[in-house]
Amino acid sequence: MLDYSQIGARLDALEKLPSCNSNNSISKALEQAGFSRRDFMKWAGAMTAFLALPTSFVPMVARAAELADRVPVVWLHMAECTGCSESLLRSDAPTIDSLIFDYISLEYHETVMAAAGWQAEDNLNNAIEKYKGNYVLMVEGGIPTGDQERYLTVGGQAHTGYEITRKACENAMAVLAIGTCSSFGGIQAARPNPSNAKPVHKITSKPIINVPGCPPSEKNIVGNVLQLLLFKELPTLDVYNRPKWAYGLRIHDLCERRGHFDAGEFVQEFGDEGAKKGYCLYKVGCKGPYTFNNCSRERFNSHTSWPIQAGHGCIGCSEPNFWDNMQPFEEPMAGHKFGTTLGLGADNLSDKIGIGVLCLTGVAIAAHAVIASIQKNKD
Ligand code: FSX
Ligand code: SF4
Ligand code: F3S
């Protein structure tokens, strides 16, 4: 990791680059949206902790956020639902994260750019040429390949998603796979994968940072942009190339219903007394014990809520092949056979430990199930 003076020099160099928005700056835009300097510094403090950096980094995180309009970003849409972009853009009140995203130099983003048709295709080619080696590429969606490559073509020249993504990857400074589709294939890669969809890391040799989730939270997206602005290097990644600061713990580890799991208090079916009391959702299919993500800590929509708070179990949306491996979504995993990759998002070393932990969790879950069924029979 870079030291303070190297980061300072890097931010000085970024500051000298032209801003993408000459009429306004990020700090002015925040002020206009009603955020005080104090709000912004509080946000920077929370972001610093979120990125697992020491408190002394707060001023640098704040400065990096203010310079987010200096690094050009190209955002490609492949086969997907645009939920990842929506996650970032559609909050009813703009958050500091979404405002910063608005000011990122988005050279190409099919959902939000004004250009269409030939002009849009030109924009993409020009951005790749002009910012060769300096832009951050964000890819949303899985990519049809092989005999099915032509299932996805974009624009009047009908280039395939595969060709476009490979070219954009080649010339990028860093590549982020945004969402489970570009990280692991996603819904279109679910069995029988009729479009032969592949994740980005399968079609390029470039190192990829995976930011999975269907969709990922806006915090995990913006956090990765800040990380690149500060360090210009890959964060520590787990075996599935997910940044450990975001995907280092399981949903189950920090879940607000965990006390009920430990006490053997489960929702038996949706709408029952246990559901009203906020009991653990394991028996109605929660995959939190097998899923690595920070939803239980960070939640969605400015920390408002998240699936388990809303009353449904986690469906494991940030794990590889969750559409196939985590099914059925509303039944527990215990008793199902599952593959060796399931839930093992830790690094190589802790993979072994992870298997142990998973087995222990399995034992605990089985024990709970037995106790609960005895209880139920008694009732
Ligand atoms: Fe959708 Fe993004 Fe899911 Fe995929 O999300 S939220 S299908 S991860 O690529 O738009
Ligand atoms: Fe929370 Fe699900 Fe774990 Fe229950 S099984 S404690 S609902 S993560
Ligand atoms: Fe996805 Fe589970 Fe979080 S379903 S959004 S990883 S709680």
Could you tell me the CATH number of the domain that includes residue 318?
Answer: 4.10.480.10
Q: How many CB atoms lie within 10 A of CB 378?
A: 6
CA pair distance 282, 285, nearest whole angstrom = 5
Among 247, 281, 306, where does a domain finish? 247
Question: Which of 77, 80, 218 has most ligand 1 atoms within 8 Å of CB, for mutation?
Answer: 80
Q: Are residues 239 and 277 in the same domain?
A: no
Note whether 127 and 108 are within 8 A (CB).
yes
Q: Give the position, in ligand 2's atom list, of the atom nearest the Cα of 258.
A: 6
CA pair distance 254, 297, nearest whole angstrom = 7
Q: Which ligand is nearest to the CA of 256?
A: 2
Residue that the structure tokens 């294939």 belong to: 185
CB of 221 shorter than 6 A to ligand 1: no
Note whether 137 and 175 are within 8 A (CB).
yes
Residue whose C-alpha is closest to residue 224's, from 95, 350, 346, 68: 68
- C-alpha 246 to ligand 3 mean position (Å): 13
Q: Are residues 85 and 196 in the same domain?
A: yes
CB of 250 shorter than 6 A to ligand 2: no
Cβ neighbours for 295, distance < 8 A, ≥ 6 positions apart: 213, 217, 251, 306, 307, 308, 314
Domain that includes residue 87, residue range: 4-247
CA pair distance 196, 152, nearest whole angstrom = 11
Q: What does pTM read for this prediction?
A: 0.87
DSSP state of 216: P
The residues that bridge with 292 in the sheet, in sequence order, are 250
CB of 257 shorter than 6 A to ligand 2: yes
Among 247, 266, 285, where does a domain finish? 247
Phi, psi at 196, each rounded to 5°: 50, 45
Q: Give the position, in ligand 2's atom list, of the atom nearest the Cα of 287.
A: 2
- Give the H or E element holding residue 209: strand 208-211
Query: What CATH number should be reported for the domain holding residue 38?
Result: 3.40.50.700
- C-alpha 292 to ligand 1 mean position (Å): 17
Q: How many CB atoms lie within 10 A of CB 9?
A: 11
Residue that the structure tokens 């931010």 belong to: 11
Q: Are residues 117 and 155 in the same domain?
A: yes
Q: Are residues 204 and 287 in the same domain?
A: no
CA pair distance 361, 166, nearest whole angstrom = 41
The residues that bridge with 77 in the sheet, in sequence order, are 140
Q: Are residues 108 and 133 in the same domain?
A: yes
Among 247, 279, 295, where does a domain finish? 247
CA pair distance 219, 330, nearest whole angstrom = 27
Q: Which amino acid is at 224?
A: N
Q: Are residues 232 and 320 in the same domain?
A: no
The secondary structure of the chain in percent helix, strand, coil, rounded to multiples of 5, reads 50, 10, 40
Q: Are residues 47 and 160 in the same domain?
A: yes
Phi, psi at 300, each rounded to 5°: -120, 175
- C-alpha 359 to ligand 2 mean position (Å): 16
Q: Give the position, in ligand 3's atom list, of the atom nearest the Cα of 295.
A: 3
Q: Are residues 267 and 227 in the same domain?
A: no
CB of 190 shorter than 6 A to ligand 1: no
Query: Hey, what are 99's tokens?
Result: 């405002």
Residue that the structure tokens 């399931």 belong to: 342
Query: Hey, what are 39's tokens?
Result: 């709000």
Q: Which ligand is nearest to the CA of 257?
A: 2
End-to-end CA distance of the chain: 58
Q: Are residues 289 and 226 in the same domain?
A: no
Quote the pLDDT of residue 124.
Answer: 93
Q: Which ligand is nearest to the CA of 307?
A: 3
CA pair distance 70, 28, nearest whole angstrom = 15
CA pair distance 40, 96, nearest whole angstrom = 8
Question: Which of 242, 280, 293, 298 has most ligand 3 atoms within 8 Å of CB, for mutation?
Answer: 293
Quote the pLDDT of residue 114.
Answer: 81
Q: What is the pLDDT along the chain (379 residues), one digit of tens a residue?
A: 567 888 999 999 989 988 866 667 888 888 888 999 999 999 999 999 999 999 999 999 999 999 988 889 999 999 999 999 888 776 556 788 888 877 787 888 888 888 888 888 999 999 999 999 999 999 999 999 999 999 999 988 899 999 999 999 999 999 999 999 999 999 999 999 999 999 999 999 999 999 999 999 988 998 998 999 898 888 999 999 999 999 999 999 999 999 999 999 999 999 999 999 999 999 999 999 999 999 999 998 878 899 999 999 999 999 999 999 999 999 998 655 444 444 443 333 333 333 444 444 555 555 554 444 444 444 4
CA pair distance 365, 343, nearest whole angstrom = 15
Q: Are residues 205 and 85 in the same domain?
A: yes
Closest CA to ligand 2's atom 3: 252
The count of structural domains within the chain is 2
Q: For residue 222, with 0-12 CB atoms within 10 Å meaning exposed, 13-18 middle and 19 or more buried, which class applies?
A: buried
Quote the pLDDT of residue 23.
Answer: 67
- C-alpha 233 to ligand 3 mean position (Å): 27
Q: Cβ < 6 Å from ligand 3: which residues? A: 213, 251, 291, 293, 295, 306-308, 314-315, 317-318
* DSSP string covering 244-274: HHHHSSBGGGG-TTHHHHHTT-B--STTSHH
Query: Hey, what are 139's tokens?
Result: 């890819």
Q: Are residues 268 and 190 in the same domain?
A: no
Q: For residue 282, with 0-12 CB atoms within 10 Å meaning exposed, 13-18 middle and 19 or more buried, which class applies?
A: buried
Q: Are residues 112 and 219 in the same domain?
A: yes
